[in-house]
Structures are given as C-alpha cells and as structure tokens.
Amino acid sequence: MEIVIIGSGNVASVLGRKFKAAGHTIAQVYSRNASAASHLAYEWDTESTNYKSLIYQKADVYLIAVPDDAIDEVVNELKLPGKVVAHTAASVSRDILKDVSPHHGVFYPLQSLRKEMPVTTEIPMFIDASDDKSRRILEELATSISAEKVSSAPDSERLKFHVAAVVVSNFTNHLYALAEQYCKKEGISFKQLLPLIEETALRIRTISPKEAQTGPAVRHDRDTIQKHIELLKDDPALHNIYVLMTESIQQFK
C-alpha cells in the first residue's frame, strides 16, 4: 500500500518503520516539524513536506499521528475524498475525520510507543472504520504489522481501553520514577529492583493481579506499614501515594 504519514513523533516513527518492514511504500511524511519530517523521509527513502497544501494526493492511506488535541487543527481544510484517512488516538472519535473523507477510521496501537524502540516490538492493533472500504484496508494494514489478531473497537470501547492502558502503563511508570528518585535520595540502587519489577509483570500472564498481590498492605502488617510511612514523612508525593495505595489494597474486594 502507499501511505502518507502525518506527524513525525513517536507513533509516526514506529508505525512508519513497521510499514516499511512489511513492504509498504511511505509516499510522504508531512509534519509541521520540517527537520523531524525530513529525518524520517531520509530513513524511509521518500519525500517530506511541512506545507499542508503540498500533501501528496494519490496515496491509499493517510495516517494522522499528532497529539489528540491537535487532530482538529491538522485536519482543518484537509480534503482527501476517496482516500482512507485514519488517526491513531484511542480517546478521539473517528467522526473528527468525517469532513476529510467519507472513508475514515481509527488505527490505534495499544502499546507504549517511543521512537527508539525496535521494529520487532509487538503491537496489538485496534481499528474502527466508517464503512466497508476503510475497514477492509485498515484491517489489512494492521494485519501486515501485527502478529496478534487485529481487533475492532468503536469509540466507546477504545476510550475504556485507554483508561486501563493509562493505569497499567503510565501510572505504573510514574511509580517507577518516584521510586527511582527515592532510591537516589537515599543512596540505594534502583537497578537492584529490576528483577522484582520484571517478576511482578510476568506473573500476571498466569494468575490475576488480585491473586498475585503480596506485601505488607495485603498482609495487614501494621507495624511495618507505620515504619514505612514514618520514613516517607519528608517525601510528600510518595507518602501520599503510599497511604492511598495501602488503603486501596486493603479495601479491594
């Protein structure tokens, strides 16, 4: 397929690389960030532009990978009748693209994507489409880059997935960041915690997170919990989260 990528950030870079590896042609990269767009275009042996009026008109698929709040502005006055146009956001309705083309949809990668990740990283794909043509094309494109089954997810379902994804990925990572900062301050090594982090994540492939819970909160070890809270009294952010999480674990049914 011939694809135009709109955006030059994390999702544009990772999906573009996957498309190339699957044998598709990137016809053009459009981005307001001219240097990032030309960098990707060089990598993919294609052209780039930072002028909306110069967007190539003859591709099969146009993929919009810009921040959720910028999609409206980017598609303003963009007309690609007859073409399949999709954005990559979980929490934005596909209807935002209805004036761009009657064949519009969503191409949502349920993965935490960063430019520098390897092209082999597995990405579960969720798609939504306005009509049979865009569904068939987006499904084919998703299948070409994902070894897992491609799922269909309308606006309401993607929004729910996004909430769950924020909790398991973004919030967990923030806890790592707080713990790393705490370790640095206390002169202990955060790296020594990596086997524990990996074991905890891997365990939930076989048992549910509720069953997998360990630690002083679920055991109701009150003296230990008090010692921890006392130790965190000069670190308000971690102190508040520790108390909140302990209560949440103890009240969890």
Segment interacting with ligand NAP (CB under 6 A) among 41-49, 50-58, 63-71, 237-245: 63-71
Cα distance between residue 199 and residue 77, in whole Å:
50
Name which of residues 75 to 114 contact ligand NAP (CB under 6 A).
88-89, 108-109, 112-113
Q: Which residues pair with 126 in a beta bridge?
A: 108, 151
By C-beta, is 74 or 238 nearer to ligand NAP?
A: 74
Q: Which residues pair with 107 in a beta bridge?
A: 127
Confirm or reject binding of residue 146 to ligand NAP (CB under 6 A).
no
Structural contact between residues 108 and 89, judged by C-beta atoms closer than 8 angstroms: yes
By C-beta, is 125 or 217 nearer to ligand NAP?
A: 125
Tokens of residue 91, six digits: 């929490």
Cα distance between residue 66 and residue 22, in whole Å:
23
By C-beta, is 67 or 209 nearer to ligand NAP?
A: 67
Q: Which residue stretches of the chain are H helix? A: 10-21, 34-43, 71-75, 132-145, 155-165, 172-186, 194-203, 209-212, 216-219, 222-231, 236-251
By C-beta, is 74 or 80 nearer to ligand NAP?
A: 74
Cα distance between residue 77 and residue 17, in whole Å:
28
* CB 226, min distance to ligand NAP, A: 39
Site string for ligand NAP, 31-60 (x = CB under 6 A): xxx--x------------------------
Give the DSSP H or E segment for 47.
Answer: strand 47-49
Cα distance between residue 166 and residue 168, in whole Å:
6
Interface pick for ligand NAP out of 43, 47, 60, 68 (rule CB under 6 A): 68
* CB 36, min distance to ligand NAP, A: 5
Name the pairing type of β-strands 61-64 and 2-6: parallel
By C-beta, is 75 or 217 nearer to ligand NAP?
A: 75
* CB 164, min distance to ligand NAP, A: 13
* CB 82, min distance to ligand NAP, A: 24
Confirm or reject binding of residue 9 to ligand NAP (CB under 6 A).
yes
| Residue the block writes with tokens 């990283």 | 121
252 Cβ contact partners less than 8 Å away, ≥ 6 residues apart: 210, 213
* CB 239, min distance to ligand NAP, A: 30
Residues that bind ligand NAP (CB under 6 A): 7-12, 31-33, 36, 65-68, 70, 73-74, 88-89, 108-109, 112-113
